């Protein structure tokens, strides 16, 4: 048994934020019905890169889901959608701009009337209200306004774009999952569904507690690349090695710092750990950079990593998916797809002792489950043919 078995989710999202969230819910056993417009479906289906003609993002983000095509602008499509909502749907998640679902007659107030237990989650960049509610944006815009971009990079250098979509994945998708699961628990107590308004900007702002704490305490924002966790200390830094690769050093505590100092042949540094604004920081950082250039990355790993120094290799993505810890924890799995063949997938980060999730179904073809779902709703075969002819479904 998977932990979310029996929970039915109607998924109107596409691309990255919403599909990432519903992927996690599907991995945990929820029945996720991906509702796509008939012509193109989710853009992730055909956006490059592709594997045998199938978008690789689609293959990853839309596993463990069913797909039905519906034209919600046609009365017959809207009717089918309403039947899906009435058919014991637990959750609906959408990421259109504010007001779009209301104009379709499919807003929360409309659907609450026919399914008062429905949990309705709207996921947008700036939320359902406020001066930016209708402003277009992408991940870079949300982290720019939310304080992450301005706080990322080296001292005296420009802001640096992070290597992942923090707003989309965490501020959006992951927070939507938290909201949905919380609302499901609340419904067990009240018997009522509710509306969840997820703003990716809100999520980003919530992710800067350390920088915010410094600002609230000192009255001025921390300078980029100047504080203890952003590059200001020699013991929390990235260093290049002899072979052109990199090490991540995070020896913040005194015991780790002492172990590191002895490991790199500088035991005299162990007596006093560098602190913020310590005039020794620049000189120690410079000397550490020179020391790490004397050995290869692997030589340093063999010398330091397993000796309580908080040192790790900076891996390429290829190396990450060959790393023994990553593999041991099943964070790389394989699944068969009818068109793409045997494909690699990121594994599940949540490990349950009694009700584990799993990657059990490959990403569906567009509309793969349309007939199956319509049949369950009571639509006869002739009606399905008629709906297809009228382009209500694909």
**What's the pLDDT tens digit per position in 213-230?**
999 999 998 899 999 999
Domain 236-320: CATH class, spelled out: alpha beta
Count of CA atoms in the C-beta half-sphere (13 A) of 253: 5
Count of CA atoms in the C-beta half-sphere (13 A) of 36: 27
Output the pLDDT for position 97. 97
Fold agreement (8-206+327-389, 236-320) = no
Output the pLDDT for position 225. 93
Whole-number Å distance between alpha carbons of 322 and 314: 13
User: Does 277 score more than 90 pLDDT?
Assistant: no
Output the pLDDT for position 195. 99
pTM value > 0.85: yes
Residue 28's SS3 state is coil
Structure tokens at 115: 């399914």
**What's the pLDDT tens digit per position in 124-183?**
999 999 999 999 999 999 999 999 999 999 999 999 999 999 999 999 999 999 999 999
Beta bridge partner(s), residue 119:
91
Q: Cα-flanking dihedrals φ and ψ of residue 255, to 5°?
A: -65, -40
Counting residues of the chain whose pLDDT is more than 90, the rounded percentage is 98
Tell me which residues are annotated as active site. 168
- What does pLDDT average to over the chain? 97
Q: Cα-flanking dihedrals φ and ψ of residue 389, to 5°?
A: -65, -35
C-beta separation of 28 from 350 below 8 A: yes
Output the pLDDT for position 208. 97
Spell out the residues 6+ positions from residue 129 whose beta carbon is closer than 8 angstroms to its own.
98
Domain 8-206+327-389: CATH class, spelled out: alpha beta
**What's the pLDDT tens digit per position in 114-127?**
999 999 999 999 99
Output the pLDDT for position 109. 98
194-205: average pLDDT: 99
User: Does 261 score more than 90 pLDDT?
Assistant: yes
Q: SS3 breakdown of the chain: % helix, strand, coil, rounded to 5?
A: 40, 15, 45
The domain segmentation of the chain, as residue ranges, is: 8-206+327-389, 236-320
Number of H helices, E strands in the chain: 17, 13
287-313: average pLDDT: 99
Whole-number Å distance between alpha carbons of 83 and 70: 12
């Amino acid at each position: 048994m998977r932990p979310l078995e029996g929970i039915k989710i109607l998924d109107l999202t596409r691309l990255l934020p919403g599909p990432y969230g519903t992927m996690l819910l599907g991995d945990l056993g929820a029945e996720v019905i991906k509702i796509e417009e008939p012509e193109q479906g989710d853009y992730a289906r055909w956006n490059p890169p592709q594997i045998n003609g199938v978008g690789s993002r689609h293959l990853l983000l839309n596993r463990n889901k069913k797909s039905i095509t519906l034209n919600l602008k046609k009365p017959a499509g809207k009717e089918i959608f309403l039947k899906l909502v009435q058919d014991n749907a637990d959750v609906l998640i959408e990421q259109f701009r504010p007001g779009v679902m209301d104009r379709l007659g499919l807003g929360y107030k409309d659907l609450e009337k026919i399914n008062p237990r429905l949990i309705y989650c709207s996921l947008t960049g700036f939320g359902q209200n406020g001066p930016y509610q209708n402003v277009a944006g992408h991940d870079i815009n949300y982290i720019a306004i939310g304080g992450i971009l301005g706080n990322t990079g080296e001292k005296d250098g420009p802001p640096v774009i992070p290597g992942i979509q923090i707003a989309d994945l965490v501020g959006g998708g992951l927070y939507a999952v938290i909201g949905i699961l919380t609302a499901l628990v609340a419904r067990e107590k009240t018997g009522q569904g509710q509306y969840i308004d997820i703003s990716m900007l809100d999520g980003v702002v919530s992710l800067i507690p350390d920088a915010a704490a410094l600002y609230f305490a000192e009255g001025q924002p921390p300078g980029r690349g100047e504080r203890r966790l952003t590059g200001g200390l020699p013991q929390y830094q990235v260093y290049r090695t002899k072979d052109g690769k990199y090490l991540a050093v995070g020896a913040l505590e005194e015991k780790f710092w002492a172990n590191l100092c002895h490991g790199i042949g500088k035991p005299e540094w162990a007596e006093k750990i560098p602190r913020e604004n310590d005039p020794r920081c620049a000189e120690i950082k410079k000397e550490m950079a020179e020391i790490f250039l004397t050995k290869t990355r692997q030589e340093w790993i063999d010398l330091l990593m397993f000796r309580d120094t908080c040192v790790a290799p900076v891996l390429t993505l290829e190396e990450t998916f060959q790393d023994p810890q990553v593999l041991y924890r099943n964070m790389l799995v394989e699944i068969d797809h009818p068109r793409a063949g045997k494909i690699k997938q990121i594994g599940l980060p949540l490990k349950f002792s009694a009700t584990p999730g799993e990657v059990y179904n490959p990403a569906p073809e567009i509309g793969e489950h349309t007939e199956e779902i319509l049949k369950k709703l009571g639509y006869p075969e002739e009606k399905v043919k008629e709906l297809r002819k009228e382009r209500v479904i694909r």
